[in-house]
Chain A
Amino acid sequence: MNTKNTDVVAEYLHEVDVRLAGLPVLQRRELLADLAAHIASERAERNIQTEGELIEVLERLGSPDVVAAAAHEEFGPAVAPPSAKKRIPWYWPAAAIATVVVVLFLCAGAFFWSSSSGPEPSIEQVTPVPAPSMAPSR
């Protein structure tokens, strides 16, 4: 019976651990140790004997999804922003300027092309020229 109860706890902790992927290892270990200590305290202080009672303790703790989501919320943002903040000032202005330059270049090109091709006679005169030159080469 005791072995079976331990299995439920081990399975629960494993399910939480799986969902903590991506968090720093020490914070994962700390949370799992805290949860294990909580379960052990509840078992001793409430004199829990049956698996049913133990499952109630685990249900009060919350599903592995809920507990892991809380951990990601508490630990996640504190780690991510510093590296993100360092990169943005260096890469984004350069990318933005490059984009603006390319767009301006394309706009200017399109403008000159349309204004210069406007007065020209017509496209019909242009197309017949390459057509005959292509034909003999084949």
Chain B
Amino acid sequence: MAELATSLRRGTLEFCVLAMVEHEDRYGTEIVRRFGEEPNLAASEGTIYPLLSRLRRVGWLDSKWAESPSGPPRRYYALTGDGRSALAHFRTEWVSFRQTVDRLVGTGEAA
């Protein structure tokens, strides 16, 4: 079952990350903690950082270091214009994808 969860996560987790910084910038530890509360989503917290790095390098996220009121500097992540488009595109794709799978697998409300 762990492999199934990994497969389902692949390709969807990054959009959950984008959605998390859609309305306000968040720092790495904050994003990671939030995923830690969702056992279906992240195997372990440390795996989120390579994902954040990739999303930044493809230009969907921006990051900047900022001083923290309490403790060490924080790296804040923000959604870019490209990231916003990618998230919007995912939302439409996901809805039709989910409906198709629900229909075929028999997990939809009508089933």
- A binding-site residues for B, Cβ under 8 Å: 16, 27, 30-31, 34-35, 37-38, 40-45, 60-63, 66-67, 70-71, 73-75, 78
Contact = CB atoms under 8 A, between A and B. Distances in A.
Nearest to A33: B75
Would you list the 6 A-B pairs with minimal beta carbon distance, nearest first?
A: A62-B44, A44-B71, A70-B47, A61-B46, A67-B46, A74-B50
A37 B54 contact: no
B52 A34 contact: yes
B49 A38 contact: yes
Contacts of B53: 27, 30-31, 34, 74-75
Contacts of B73: 37
Nearest to B6: A73
Contacts of A78: 54
Contact of B45 (A30, A44, A60): A60
A63 B47 CA distance: 10
Interface in B1-59: 27-29, 32, 36, 43-47, 49-54
Interface range for B: 20 to 34
Per DSSP, are chain A's interface residues mostly helix, strand or loop, or mixed?
helix
B84 interface: no
B46 A66 contact: yes
A74 B46 CA distance: 13
Contacts of A40: 71-72
B96 interface: no
